[in-house]
Structure 1
Amino acid sequence: MDNNTLYTKPHYQILDGLRGLAAIIVVFFHLAEPLAISRFDNVVNHGYLAVDFFFLISGYVIGYAYDDRWNKLTIGSFLRRRFERLQPLVVLGMTLGAIGFYFTDSTIWPLIHMVPLWKLIVVMLIGYTILPIPLSLDIRGWEEMHPLNSVGWSLFFEYIANILYALGIRKLSNKALACFVVLAGAVLLHFAVTNPNGDVAGGWTLNALHMRVGITRTIFPFFAGLLLLRVARPTYIKNAFLWCSLLVAAVLFMPRIGSAEHLWMNGLYEAFCIIIVFPLIVYIGASGVVHNQRENKICKFLGNISYPLYITHYVLVYFYVAWVSNHKGITLSQAWPYALLTFSGAIVLANASLKLYDEPVRAWLRKKLK
């Protein structure tokens, strides 16, 4: 078998672009988050749902890329390809997080300088594997499974979904997969409307509650994406990228639904978005084509930076959060120049990470893992 034959399928350009747009909104969400007084007043209130959107696109794209190739693949070769795609930037993100760790000292992380170097190195090395660290190694104090790069938790669950797909769920008939997805959707809906916080946010701590949240948020969208790929044949939809972009932005920028007395309403909104709206967006995106060179360049740029931006931006956000915490009571109108600087730096860092590190390392790994 020629391994390179597994890289010949064309991309869904619009889905690439939408993934990049969602990654940009994630950055906006993390920049607005430290300025919010509560979960009710973040100006990018539902930005965390971008992760669920990523999972759904991932399931769709994984099915498209590999479903018809298992006569040429082994489980090991599939997992090597996922490792090649995901792991280089995981390592970079953890390394950059470790380099910047002691420089993000602030009023919310008063004990950072008391963390011994050996402990930082241990956390970084575990982070390279994307395995979660126990709370005893939480060196930042946010109870995160990856305290050097906050977003690493979603990559952990991405790997779990990929492993489940490879080990057996890919073999399910469409009817069996549909039953599995419906059950996962019911679990997601129940969690969303009964969660005391009134949302699906969570998954970043190594404890029973967050592991449940992470699995719940991963299983439905990932395998719903796979089911969508198998049963819904794309058709032609005009201006798909524009309509999908507007829908993604509308969902993620939507203010909090309901009040503190009606938290279930927001949970219902989020479940509706994940179960209904996100699959609709992916279907429309898969049914569209880019209309001109400008739209093609936009989708290509957004697609290229989507993963590097997502996996490296929080390294800079730590510095921004430290600055905000050291200026109590600062408003959005006062903070926006620093937020804009952080956002611009994140875009530059993502591009540099892609061109100077990710692409060369993946090319090297591709040769080594043949």
Structure 2
Amino acid sequence: MDAKGDDVNRLPGLDVLRAMAIVWVMIFHSYIIGGWGHFGGIEQNGWMGVDLFFVLSGFLIGSQVLKPLAEGRSFEFADFYQRRAFRILPAYLVVLAAYFIWPSVREQGELQPLWQFLTFTVNLLIDAKDHLAFSHVWSLCVEEHFYLLFPLLAWWLARRPSMRRFVLVCTAVVLAGMAVRGVMWVRELAPLAGLDQNSYGKTFLERIYYPTWSRLEGLLMGVMLATARVYRPVLWSRWGRHANGFLLAGVAVVGGAIMLFRDRTGFIPTVVGYPLLSFGLGLLVLAGAQTSGVLARLRVPGAGWLAAVSYSLYLSHKAVFHLVESAVGEQLDGHGLLTFAAYASAVLGVGALLHYSVERPFLKLRTRVLHQAPAAAHASGMMAGAGRDAA
């Protein structure tokens, strides 16, 4: 939702994919909590937009972390975590404060305790029956855990670069995720099948869908692409000549995953559906990250802007849906295009307000702070050197 990498972030193809992801997620939530209505069935699969965000984050952040390591430079952990904090926390804390100060913005049920939101542990401890307000923060929790641990793992692997170790780690992550979801399905979900559907859905969310260890395939797929881009530039360039082929293959694989997830909580999709979906979305990101494919040349009006404000939209859209529904929902029901325009205008307006009043100012502050620190260190070093010379 919030990943901003290096130069790959400016590729139009990735902007199109990020815009598509946020729109897909918002349409899904409008379908879940009420709002815009139906969109020919695509709203039921809108949760897959989160997985697309995971692949994008893995690729963009992976490229940012791996590039200095591949060049033999030291990785600046403090700089990385400061950048993430400036990027994530300001807008997040503003929306979080709104949820706790004004209960009227809560779209569904009650809130988990504040400390869980502040420690990004909501996805591990949530009560999915009665505490679903601001529950979409589960995916931000997954990304936060990734930001915390991936640089350490990448640094460790880069100390003694080995394709064999990299493949073993990637394979272990995928197999572990499949095993955990399979065991959870057999132990927790199977006994509830055909009984209480509310308990079944609650258990699915808490044990399989939300936990970080169950949702790593998308981030891993993005990291694998970043690894190829950074460590195998010749291969990456060769792939660029087949960008449109990767795009078509990605569409086909994602289509297959959609068919598989028609029974979204079944055993087979639970175990193998997420790696399959992540692979298909990874092919789309691979196509979008190239400069030679149709995605790179595609100019979708507003896609760049939607990509830029996607994080603010992600944080605020469910609350806005709920507020519009509460205020004028009855008057808008059944008015087709007017209903769509009302909800869309409100969501985009609040998202833009959050982006321009909170997100962007703190990004500018981040630039000033992080640029001042090296300058201060350089000046301190010069003064120390001058002192030694005088002595």
Kindly tell me: are residues 47 and 338 of structure 1, through their superposed partners in 2, closer, same or farther at Cα, counting changes over 3 Å?
same
Residues 1-370 of structure 1 correspond to what in structure 2 (within 5 A)? 11-34=10-33, 44-70=43-69, 71-102=73-104, 109=109, 127-128=117-118, 130-132=120-122, 142-144=130-132, 147=133, 149-172=134-157, 173-190=162-179, 195=185, 196=189, 209-210=206-207, 213-231=210-228, 233=236, 234-237=239-242, 254=258, 257=261, 263-267=266-270, 270-271=273-274, 273-289=276-292, 295=299, 298-319=302-323, 337-338=338-339, 340-369=341-370, 370=373
Could you tell me whether the CA contact under 8 Å between 2:8 and 2:60 is conserved in 1?
no
Distance 2:204 2:273 in 1: 23
Check the 8 A contact 1:308/1:354 in 2, yes or no.
yes
Query: 1-side partners of 2:123 and 2:289: how far apart?
Result: 37
Deviations 1:36-72 (A, max 9, x none): 9xxxx97522221222221121111112122122425
| Alignment size in residue pairs | 334
Instruction: Supply the distance in 1 between the matched residues of 2:224 and 2:17 (Cα, whole angstroms).
Output: 20
Contact 1:35 1:332 in 2 (8 A): no
TM-score, normalised by the number of residues in structure 1: 0.71
After superposition, the Cα gap between the structure-2 partners of 1:80 and 1:251, relative to the gap in structure 1 and judged at 3 Å, is: farther
Partner-residue secondary structure (3-state), 2:44:
coil
In 2, Cα distance between the equivalents of 1:258 and 1:133?
24
Q: CA RMSD in A?
A: 4.6
**Would the alpha carbon gap of residues 61 and 364 (structure 1) be closer, same or farther in structure 2, given more than 3 Å must change?**
same
CA distance in structure 1 between the aligned counterparts of 2:165 and 2:24, rounded to whole angstroms? 35
Measured in 1, the distance between the counterparts of 2:369 and 2:116 equals 23
**Which deviates the most, 66-75 or 241-250?**
241-250
Please state whether the residue corresponding to 2:10 is helix, strand or coil: coil
Question: How far did 1:30 drift?
Answer: 0.4
In structure 2, what residue type is equivalent to 1:51? Answer: V
Secondary structure of the corresponding residue to residue 161 of structure 1? helix
SS at match of 2:43: coil
Percent of paired sites with the same residue: 17
Distance 1:208 1:102, change over 3 A: closer
Contact 1:63 / 1:226 at 8 angstroms: preserved in 2?
yes
Whole-Å separation in 1 of the counterparts to 2:178 and 2:68: 33
- Alpha-carbon distance in 2 for matches of 1:248, 1:318: 34
User: How far apart, in 2, do the equivalents of 1:246 and 1:134 lie?
Assistant: 32
| Greater helix fraction, Structure 1 or Structure 2 | 2
Show CA shifts across 1:104-126 (max 9, x none).
58xx75xx7xxxxxxx8x95576
Shift, 1:101, TM fit: 1.9
- Cα gap change, 1:53/1:165 in structure 2, threshold over 3 Å: closer, same or farther? same
- Distance in 1 between the 2:46 and 2:280 partners? 15
CA shift digits 1:316-346 (9 cap, x unpaired): 133357689x98xxx9857875455223311
Question: Which residue number in structure 2 is paired with residue 202 of structure 1?
Answer: none
1:134 Cα offset (Å) = 9.3
Letter in 2 for 1:165: F
Cα contact 2:251–2:280 (8 A) shared by 1: no
Aligned amino acid, residue 165 of structure 2: A
| CA distance in 2 between partners of 1:67 and 1:15 (Å) | 19
Question: Which has the larger displacement, 286-295 or 149-158?
Answer: 286-295
Q: Distance in 2 between matches of 1:294 and 1:212?
A: 33
Tell me, in whole angstroms, the C-alpha distance in 2 between the residues paired with 1:241 and 1:304. Answer: 25
Residue aligned with 2:50, SS: helix
Deviation, 1:368, is 3.0
d(CA) in 1 for partners of 2:250 and 2:101? 35
Task: Using the TM superposition, name which of 78-87 and 95-104 deviates more.
Answer: 95-104
Question: What is the CA–CA distance in structure 1 between the aligned matches of 2:15 and 2:227, rounded to whole Å?
Answer: 19
Mark the runs of 5 or more structure 2 residues left unpaired by the alignment.
Answer: 194-201, 229-234, 374-391
Displacement of 1:314: 1.8
Provide the secondary structure at the position in 2 that maps to 1:229: helix
Give the CA deviation at 1:277. 0.8
**CA–CA distance in 1 between the matches of 2:96 and 2:55?**
25
Q: Which one-letter code corresponds to 1:220 in the other structure?
A: E
For the 8 Å contact 1:150–1:314, the answer to whether it is kept is no
Q: Provide the C-alpha distance between the structure 2 equivalents of 1:157 and 1:209, rounded to a whole number of angstroms.
A: 13
Native 8 Å contact 2:221 2:282 kept in 1: yes
Q: CA contact under 8 A between 2:52 and 2:278: conserved in structure 1?
A: no
- Relative contact order (C-alpha < 8 Å, sep 6+): which is higher? 1
